[in-house]
Structure 1
């Protein structure tokens, strides 16, 4: 039966809203860290911005394997191959664990890395203290992401939302206790925020594993989990590493902006961290819709329904553009209201941080539409398992164009933080144009609806 635009909108809302909610809730964990550390001490906030950025860069790279699970499972389910869905999910978990082992040394010895990036010694030391604890969270964080991808591909997203919401409340409570030393706990500052993050990520993993086992007993995800399936591992790896590098290119653009802001000054870095939290929260809406686009494109691809795939893609693009337009208005009309929640009014540095942040929010308004467009195009392309060309596009847009323009405008030409953020806008705009062009030129392979049969894993 042919689906109308209204049908597509309804399907995207049913699938996408819980995903949007779970991404927003996940972002709230980082936002609460920023909020409470901003109240506690501006230097601690600046150090956490640096350390959190370093963790996030590795997390995003490793998430490529988790994200590869989503289109693989969606396509397998669309073709009726439950066995393949189980195989790729298990090996996605394996890949997440292996990646965590590979990057842990960077977290355990973070201070030399931060110093090599030109950061102030006191900020590098505090950031290293944070990562020595919070870095262990890379294991549960990536495994949670893999299981979220699996459940999203099966369109079981409600529980993912509620588990993430529970994690938000747990994080707030543990942060309040350990950062400030409330309820008889020691006052640990930034180290307390690190312990809170680790505890909450571990709790999230236990909850989502329990739900996945209960809700999908037919998949038997954890039965003979120790058994290697190198063919399925190779499929996840082949699809996942370009996704990881693509995401790393974009996140690396923002990470580079954090490093450059650190060169300019601590107050500028603090304002940058706060403004990034605000725009990242808005971006989570687009990321949730992009995930829904991956699932629906993957299922349509598995069934061979190419016309419905394209119709759905155009529909979700339109939905994302409406949300981005609203964000532009909010960022331009009420930046002070958004930023003030992160600052203690009695802090003598608060007015300066606010003034810098308002300029950054105006720059952020410039790239809302193109940022939404590029992530929606990526979501659809992942659904049809097209990841290598988007990886090249991301590398060119963000690192050949975006980072140099940020450096030229912000550092060489002296425009400061606003100049750095204008460079972000240029990189995102180039990526959006090229990725949309890639989707418009995409044509399905002749065997697009075929999922290779496999032996029981």
Structure 2
């Protein structure tokens, strides 16, 4: 049962670790399962061919950039609902969730033209014509999944803020299974289905998001009927709409800043050719998989920080943040060991044995995984810092820090090291390390020197 409204007693570090583990493990599992959806696309299309893998790498970066910008409104639901629950304000929970759904729908309508007409955008960004054409074909179909995907994010944030994280995990596992089955059927033409390649992967993504939406909405309406989420859904709520917008837009722009660093790196790798772009796609997928652990811990930190804010308990906030940081660093060490000790084995999981470009992709990818190992710790630290800052509803300053770190420093460094100094793909990844490192230092400083003291 949810016990957010009960008084909280001082917790030891081990108590915080247990609480964050209980809350965070289902969230970590949910993020890993969600990431597995994209990972399945990457692996199966890698088996299908190097050109398809390059196209999905490009299309995935493009779609994910737009998705993360819009997900700011969904992420805003989490700290607002957690704070309302901590203060015992049930009506505020309902109002916040509804307006998060409203803003997610409005954003999807505005973003859809960029997904439908993506080919000229990709060509203008210097991508090879064949890769851009294939990526655009994928996005014209997969783009429709943005609507259910953002609604699912908002509802998952609502449930997670109420500490109902296990259902978030189970629904995401269901979605991952559906995606794998439909992908296998439509990409390769198995079980009597037509062989559709990239288009099949796109259809699988849309089907997966629709299944997720039906499942999460059915659960919310069945288990939490007192919140009446859909009753008078079309009635505007200007006050809360404005509040979610003010909190969510900076979160979305912060997300966009980080993902645009990776999207820009994908574009630059595309300038180097199909094999470097394919290697980049695999390395980013592996690094992204480990990041899901940090993201789950970050979400747990947001919920607990929001709850501490609702109770006005700075000691609880600070101690919980320290524990989450240590847990994130421990997970980083595991990822670093894997990337440095078995890089070729990890890269090979994504490639067909008879792919003629496999040796070249492996040679490039091993170097990229070394760079990925270098940014594991700072990537985790910036995620935890963002989580606790969102929990205390501090989003404007982190947005500026992200813009400075990723756009002002990371992307220029990628270009300079990759092309001006001639280090190629490894040089492009130097920019990733630089941008993430700068963000980690500044965001941690913002939390410990600003947010904790204010509360």
Instruction: Provide the TM-score with structure 1 as the length reference.
Output: 0.97
Deviation at 1:316, TM superposition (A): 0.5
Deviation at 1:223, TM superposition (A): 1.1
2:132 paired with 1:145? no
Helix, strand or coil for the counterpart of 1:33? helix
Indicate the residue corresponding to 1:280 in structure 2.
288
Per-residue Cα deviation, 1:231-279 (whole angstroms, up to 9, x for no partner): 1110000000000001100000000000000001110000000111101
Within the candidate set 415, 422, 428, 1:420 is matched to: 428
Unaligned runs of 5+ in 1: 449-457
Helix, strand or coil for the counterpart of 1:414? coil
Unaligned runs of 5+ in 2: 1-8
Deviation at 1:153, TM superposition (A): 0.3
Partners of 2:334 and 2:228 in 1: CA distance: 43
**TM-align CA RMSD:** 1.0
Partners of 1:443 and 1:412 in 2: CA distance: 40
Q: Is the 8 A contact 2:392 2:451 kept in 1?
A: no
Deviation at 1:345, TM superposition (A): 1.1
Counterparts in 2 of 1:307-318, with a 5 A limit?
307-318=315-326
Partners of 2:69 and 2:175 in 1: CA distance: 23
Counterparts in 2 of 1:144-163, with a 5 A limit?
144-163=152-171
Within the candidate set 397, 403, 423, 2:405 is matched to: 397
Q: Is the 8 A contact 2:172 2:212 kept in 1?
A: yes
In the comparison of the two structures, how many residue pairs are matched? 447
Indicate the residue corresponding to 1:35 in structure 2.
43
Within the candidate set 283, 293, 298, 1:290 is matched to: 298
Deviation at 1:444, TM superposition (A): 6.1
Within the candidate set 33, 44, 49, 1:25 is matched to: 33
Within the candidate set 442, 447, 454, 2:450 is matched to: 442
2:361 paired with 1:353? yes
2:350 paired with 1:342? yes
Within the candidate set 187, 199, 216, 1:208 is matched to: 216
Instruction: Provide the TM-score with structure 2 as the length reference.
Output: 0.97
Within the candidate set 210, 227, 231, 1:219 is matched to: 227
Partners of 1:355 and 1:19 in 2: CA distance: 34
Per-residue Cα deviation, 1:323-372 (whole angstroms, up to 9, x for no partner): 01111111100111111110001111111101111000001111101010
Flag as ranges the 4+ runs of structure 1 deviating above 4 A.
443-446
Q: Is the 8 A contact 2:343 2:366 kept in 1?
A: yes
2:69 paired with 1:86? no
Per-residue Cα deviation, 1:86-125 (whole angstroms, up to 9, x for no partner): 1010000000000000010011111111111111111111
Q: Is the 8 A contact 2:85 2:307 kept in 1?
A: yes
Per-residue Cα deviation, 1:17-40 (whole angstroms, up to 9, x for no partner): 000000000000000000000000
Within the candidate set 136, 145, 150, 2:144 is matched to: 136
Q: Is the 8 A contact 2:75 2:157 kept in 1?
A: yes
Partners of 1:118 and 1:387 in 2: CA distance: 33
Helix, strand or coil for the counterpart of 1:386? coil
Helix, strand or coil for the counterpart of 2:231? coil
Indicate the residue corresponding to 1:115 in structure 2.
123
Helix, strand or coil for the counterpart of 2:401? helix
